Every structure is written in structure tokens, then in C-alpha cells.
Structure 1
Amino acid sequence: MTQVCSLPSSTADVNDTYNNKRLPKGIHIVGADNKSASKVGGMSNNETSTEAPWGYIYIQHMSAGTFEQKLETRKLEGDYKPKCFIHRTLHYKKKPNGKGIMKEEKPTISGLVFLQGTTNQLRSFLSLNFPKYYLVNNCSTGQAASIPDSLMRPFMKIMSEEPERITFLRDPFIKFAKDHVKLRVLTGIFKGREGYVVRVLRDRQLVMDFCGYAVAISNVHREDFEIAE
């Protein structure tokens, strides 16, 4: 289940250090032993995309489904209608007959609703159709959050197929820079992205920047990394 939580200050195991910062053990860091060369040295994680970025709003989780339904069925003002993605989590409960377990998807308690469009497009759309909702700001810049489509696509894929892998943290992303080495992912769905491998909920997870907030991705032990600092 995806959770929202805070982390204690000591979060990672220590294997070695780089510039007096911890290198996590249990993952493969290419070049850290000076025997293997970087696979994507210099790769930028600021890929260009022709698709519009995404903003998001907070809605009480019980109302998120209603918002999505209104977006699909209600006659809306204006010419613009954004794509909508709601962060959901899996819940397990007993079947009505008491035999076996059934899975049920529900909007996460965090009530995250993502809308695709530029900040101006989304502000205008919300003002005309859902005036009680406002775009959430990037906690680092204080401006409305704008998430590149190239970053949203892998997040949406995981949130749709394996939502239990993602944990939204209350801590700002910058908190993790103090004691951890920034790493770049070389393989998998987040190839080219950067973050810190940190122990979260007894598991080493990749903590990434998501509009200034920290988001942890589990099950990254088989990926290759390189030092990004």
C-alpha cells in the first residue's frame, strides 16, 4: 500500500563513502569500484517532450472519484478539457461470501489528482469549472507545480500497475542531500533520473524529486546506478 510518512534522520546503511557522504550497499553502482565505466555518463534527466506538462490538486480522497466522474460526464465551460490521472492504491478485503480475498482500487488518502496542461490552461479550467480547487505549488519554488510529461509517464505506469511501490514522503527532497550521494539510474523505467537510495520502511528505495517533495520507489535493487555528483 502506498503511504505518506516521515523519515528519521538516519535512514541508510553504509557501505563506503564518496565525498564524505554515504554510498548505500546492496545496489550496483557502476564505476564506484573504478573497474567499470559509466554507461550513460553525462546523461541529462531533462528530456524534451512535445506533450504538455502536468499539474495537480489535492482532493479529499473520498471525493476524488466524484471529481473524475464529473470531469467525464458534466458539461464543462471553455474549450479546454485536461487529461486526468488519480493516484489510487490497492486494498484487500474478504469476499462477501467470506471465502477468499478480493482486491479493490481506491483513491489514495493523499487525494492526489493530476491534470495535464500548462499552468495557465489548468488555472483557467479550474476557475471556470471547479473554482474551489487550486493547483498545488512546488514546495521548493513556491510556484504552481509543473511536472514534465516525461517524468509523469513512468510514475503513472507504476501507480497504475504497482501502486504499492510508491511512497509519498512528507519530507522535502532537499533533506536527503545532506548525508547521501546523488545517484543516476542507468536501467529500467526511470533510466536517466536522479535521486538518493535511502532505507524506507526497512527497504532500500530510490528517493526522487517530485515538485520539491520526496517520493520513494521500492524494488530498485536490480537496477544499475552511477554517481551523479
Structure 2
Amino acid sequence: MTTQDCLESLPTADVDHRLPKGIHVTKADEKSDLGIERTPRREEGLPWGYLFIHNMTVPAFERRMKEYNKNHPDSAHACFVHRTYTYKEKNEMGGVKKEYKPTISGMVFLQGRTRDLQKFLKLNYSTYHLVIDKCKGKPASIPDKIMQPFMMVLKDNPERVTFLSDPFEKFARNHVKLRVLTGIFAGCEGYIIRIDRDRQLVFDFGGYAVAIRGVHKEDFEEVKE
């Protein structure tokens, strides 16, 4: 995978006519009157950066990171690998084998402030570099409040997550930006988009547009920009 080019944000006029049908959306200034039971705000941790490693070397990298974190608890960096299911024929007699493997590009996440991660990589893995968020012109930094539910979904049901080829800003056309109020993605902002006949939440994820299935039944509010 490669990072996406950034387009200019588009206007969001005629909001009331472009709210997604069948989605519980409230006005931002009405939220205090509705008594919606929101998911408690999780404690904010350090942000995450990510890099690409050949998928064949990912297991070795994970082992080295585990050993490093064990020996350097004061400067440890949590490591998470984007894995998904792959399908291939078992044999010439037929049948399909399902495997849970790192993505082709070997997308690896490390937790820490950007400057600390850069220093860590320079000292220990000089050939690896953090991915640049082209929209911001600097290494991508993903808030922990977004990363935590993302990791939960990938561990439990990775097929709910889709990395899209179009930049996030493209989805602003004829859509209203919404903030999730309930569920594990509470606090995330994005657009409800119909993809493959399914309404999915599309949000900015460190320079990528990522779509998550199964969130359209949550409560949302408009984001006032």
C-alpha cells in the first residue's frame, strides 16, 4: 500500500438534505437534551506511527520488538501488525484454506511520539522509516483513541476493515462529517458512505481513508467545522 494524495476539502452546504437516511444523527447543540448513553471516554495514550516492512520479515521484527521492550521497559514501544485473512486452495482436490497473515505490504504500527519513534528506528533499524502523511507533509501520527478500537476490530474481525484507494477528502462531496457518539469508535469522525451495498464509516487514518463495517447503528452527531 502507498499513502494517498490529499485533495482540498469540499464545502458541505445543504447539510439537512445530505444526512444519511436510516442513521441516528443529532444536531451538535441538541446532544445534551437527548440523554443518549455514550461510551465513556477512554484514557488517552501515546499516539502511533507506522512503517512498511516486507511481510516475510514481520514475524522476526515482532520478536525483536518483544525482546527490546522486555529489556527496555522505560523506552518500550508497543507493536501491532495489520493482519487479515487470505484464502487459497488447499490442494488440487479442492477446498479453501483460510490463513491469518500480515498484509502484503507488512503494515506495522509502533506506539510513541514521532520524535521518539524516529530516534528508536535510527538507532535500531536504520533502513526503516515512518510513513509520511502526505496531507500533512510529516510522519503520520494516529491518536490512541482511534488506534485502540481499530486494533480491537482487526483482532476480532479483520474483514470489517477496508483501506480505500481514494483520499479521505474525496468523501466530503455531498456528505456531512459525523462524530460517533456510542460504541467502541465513539469520538471518531468521518462520513457514512455506502460501499458494496453496506453503509460504512469512512475516516482518516494516518493518511489513509479507512472504511469500517458494522457501525451504522451507532448514534452520531454533526461535526461543526
Q: Same fold (TM over 0.5)?
A: yes
Matched, 1:69 2:51: no
Specify which of 201, 218, 224 is matched with residue 219 of structure 2: 224
Matched, 1:167 2:167: no
Equivalent position of 2:201 in the other structure: 206
- Which amino acid counterpart does residue 26 of structure 2 have in structure 1? V
Gaps of 5+ in 2: 5-12
Cα distance in 1 for residues equivalent to 2:49 and 2:35:
32
Q: Give 1:201 shift.
A: 2.6
Cα distance in 2 for residues equivalent to 1:137 and 1:21:
36
Cα distance in 2 for residues equivalent to 1:171 and 1:59:
23
- Which amino acid counterpart does residue 188 of structure 1 have in structure 2? G
Cα distance in 2 for residues equivalent to 1:105 and 1:20:
42
Equivalent position of 1:28 in the other structure: 24
Cα–Cα, structure 1 residues 213 and 75, in superposed 2: closer, same or farther, change >3 Å?
closer
TM-score normalised per structure 1: 0.76
Cα–Cα, structure 1 residues 67 and 175, in superposed 2: closer, same or farther, change >3 Å?
same
Three-state SS of the structure 2 residue aligned to 1:171 is coil
Cα distance in 1 for residues equivalent to 2:47 and 2:105:
21
Equivalent position of 2:119 in the other structure: 124
Q: CA RMSD in A?
A: 3.5
Cα distance in 1 for residues equivalent to 2:121 and 2:206:
20
Q: What pairs with 1:1-229 in structure 2 (closer than 5 Å)?
A: 18-19=14-15, 22-30=18-26, 38=34, 49=44, 51-73=45-67, 80-92=75-87, 103-229=98-224
Cα distance in 2 for residues equivalent to 1:119 and 1:87:
19
Cα distance in 1 for residues equivalent to 2:53 and 2:88:
24
Q: Give 1:128 shift.
A: 1.3
Q: Which has the higher helix share?
A: 2
Q: Give 1:184 shift.
A: 1.5
Gaps of 5+ in 1: 7-16
Judge conservation of contact 2:69–2:76 (CA < 8 Å) in 1.
Answer: no
Judge conservation of contact 1:166–1:217 (CA < 8 Å) in 2.
Answer: yes
- Which amino acid counterpart does residue 56 of structure 2 have in structure 1? M
Deviations 1:193-221, CA, capped at 9 Å, x for gaps = 21100122332100011123211111123
Cα distance in 2 for residues equivalent to 1:168 and 1:227:
24
Q: Give 1:69 shift.
A: 2.6
Equivalent position of 1:11 in the other structure: none
Deviations 1:164-187, CA, capped at 9 Å, x for gaps = 111111222122123211111121
Three-state SS of the structure 1 residue aligned to 2:18 is strand
Q: Report the identity percentage.
A: 51
Judge conservation of contact 1:18–1:181 (CA < 8 Å) in 2.
Answer: no
